[in-house]
Every structure is written in C-alpha cells, then in structure tokens.
Amino acid sequence: MPGKTIDHAFTATSLTSASTDPTFAGALSFMRRRFSKDVSGADTVVWGIPFDAATSNRPGARFGPQAIRRASAIFDNDPQYPFGRDLFAAMPTVDYGDCLLDYGNHEETPTTIEREAASLISNGAFLLTLGGDHFITWPLLKAHVSKHGPLALVQFDAHQDTWFDDNRRIDHGSFVARAARDGLIDTARSIQIGIRTHAPEDCGIRILYGYEVEEMTADQIAQTILSHTQGAPSYLTFDIDCLDPAFAPGTGTPVSGGPSSAKILSVLRKLQGLDIRGADVVEVAPAYDHADVTAIAGATVAMYMLGLRAERLAAES
C-alpha cells in the first residue's frame, strides 16, 4: 500500500492531512487528528475533560472522551456528510488530548480547566471540548468569556441546570444559574432546546421544551435559535441527554420523551448563521451504552460542530 500510513494521530505530516487508517485500527484521536501539545498553526483544537465527580445520578462520563474518540473513527476521511467537504483541508486541527485533573482534589478542578482552556484559546483557536459531565461548561464559559465577552448560551439538554448554587458546589445541575448570576451569559439571547424537566427558575432564558421540539420542524427550531440569539457571539453546549434514551442510552440522567438524533442533527446543520465561539459535547457515559449508540451520536454531534466551523471559515475566505 504505497504512500499510506497507519496511526495518523502520530504520523500525520500536517494539521490538514487526511488519514488512511482503517476504521477498525490505528490510534484513536478525534477523527484521526494529530495528537499534539503544540497548537501553533491550529485553527481548531479538540480537547477532552474526563471528569464526572459532579454527576447527581449515574457516574461514568469521565470515560466520555475516550468513547467519543473511538466512535469518531467511523468518519473515514471521505467528504463528511452532510457538509460535502474534507473538514480539515482548510481548517488545521489538532487533538490536544485530555486535561489532567487530580481525582482527589476536586476543589482545584474548575481552576485547572479554566486555566488550560484560556491558554488554548489565547491565540484565537476554536476549542471543541469532549466531556465529562456538564459541570465542565462552567469553567469553559469563564475562559471563553474572558476572551470574547458575555456570550449567548445555546444549550441542547433535557435539564435546565439552573438549580441553587452557593458558588462552591461541584454540581452539573447548576452551572447555568451561576453563569447567569455572574453575567457570563447574555440571558436575553440564550436558549435551551429539548428541556424535559422543571427547575426552580429559568433565569430569563428562552426554553423550547421537549414537547415543542417534537411538534416543530427542524427548520423551525433552527430559525428560533437564530432569531433569538440575534447574531450574538455564542457558546454551543450539547448534553447528550437532550436526545431520547432510545438514541442515547449511555448517559447519567436519561429522560424519556426527547428528540431523535436525526432531528437534532438536522437542526445543527441549519445553524450556519450562528456565531459559535466555543463548543462542547458532554455527559456521554459509555458504561450504560449499547453498541456505541451514544458514543456515535456524541461523535457525530462533535463532527457537525466542526462542520459548521469549516463552512464558516470557507465563507470568510
């Protein structure tokens, strides 16, 4: 097989090169991107945060980054559907690996995440983070807001995550309330999609409940997001439990009555007009998964986020 290599995560000759690894073999970086702690020259950085100590129900999302990377091998460097392009040809991308956290000292976790995220985006790189439970979005937001100013939050989720927070809790159900209270997010332009639980307050954020998502078309949902955010710089966070457990069983707090992966992927595809400054996919817990269904959904959501980035760069060039 002349001219072909394996283990592209280590043997890549550039940040834009396509891999030739078989889907069933080779080093499992996200979509075979080169593993590197050197992000110079990279437009986009993929990063894992294997943390789940904030989970209120079933733990295991610390294994999410591994599972998502493994599932992403199915994207075999053909033009990526539905974008019809090699996402990386004009979008140099590295997989930075994972955040190193002290499992016995959770009080240091938010500072560690925020500091490393701030370093990664300091030179203008777009950061796509693989979680981990949803607490990680709190320090990620702080890092992004330090760079970009307050952001509109676009949150796909079954939960509002607006529960009481005393500013010290390590809790995956309160980061939105804390972000709203501290002015990190523009609540008037923030929106939550797929909510199927009730919390004590909505913090002034627009909610599309699960039954509304069921009754609306993908185009209607996308247009609601775009009109509500009004072109504001945005942070896109995707809790995999936004999807119905039929499509994402491998998560810590599954809630029935959610949308299909096909419908929500169609929504994401229609968000070309959203000014995404950072993004994450969280709450994939592979111990509760079946046949990698949830991991594949998480990897596909992440790929769509990169697809939107690639299209934006192409439009700006």
Dump pLDDT digits (tens) for 222-274: 999 999 999 999 999 999 999 999 999 999 999 999 999 999 999 999 999 99
What is the per-residue pLDDT across 8-61, written as a single tens digit (0 to 9) for each? Answer: 998 998 999 989 888 889 899 999 999 999 999 999 999 999 999 878 889 999
pLDDT (0 to 100) of residue 107 = 87
CA atoms within 13 A on the CB side of 221: 27
pLDDT (0 to 100) of residue 276 = 98
What is the per-residue pLDDT across 136-190, written as a single tens digit (0 to 9) for each? Answer: 999 999 999 999 999 999 999 999 989 877 777 877 778 999 999 999 999 999 9
What residue spans define the domains of the chain?
Answer: 8-316
Q: Which CATH class is domain 8-316?
A: alpha beta
pLDDT (0 to 100) of residue 2 = 59
> What is the per-residue DSSP string for 45-108?
EEEEE---TT-SS---GGGHHHHHHHHGGG--SSPBTTTTB-TTTTS-EEEEEE----TT-GGG
How much of the chain exceeds pLDDT 70, in percent?
Answer: 99
Nearest to 71 by CA among 293, 312, 307: 293
Top-confidence residue, 77 or 1 = 77
- Please indicate, yes or no, whether the overall pTM of this predicted structure exceeds 0.85: yes
> What is the per-residue DSSP string for 146-199?
HHH-SBEEEEE-SS-------SS---TTSHHHHHHHTT-B-GGG-EEEEE-S--
- Average pLDDT score over the chain: 94
| Contact yes or no for 218/266 (Cβ under 8 A) | yes
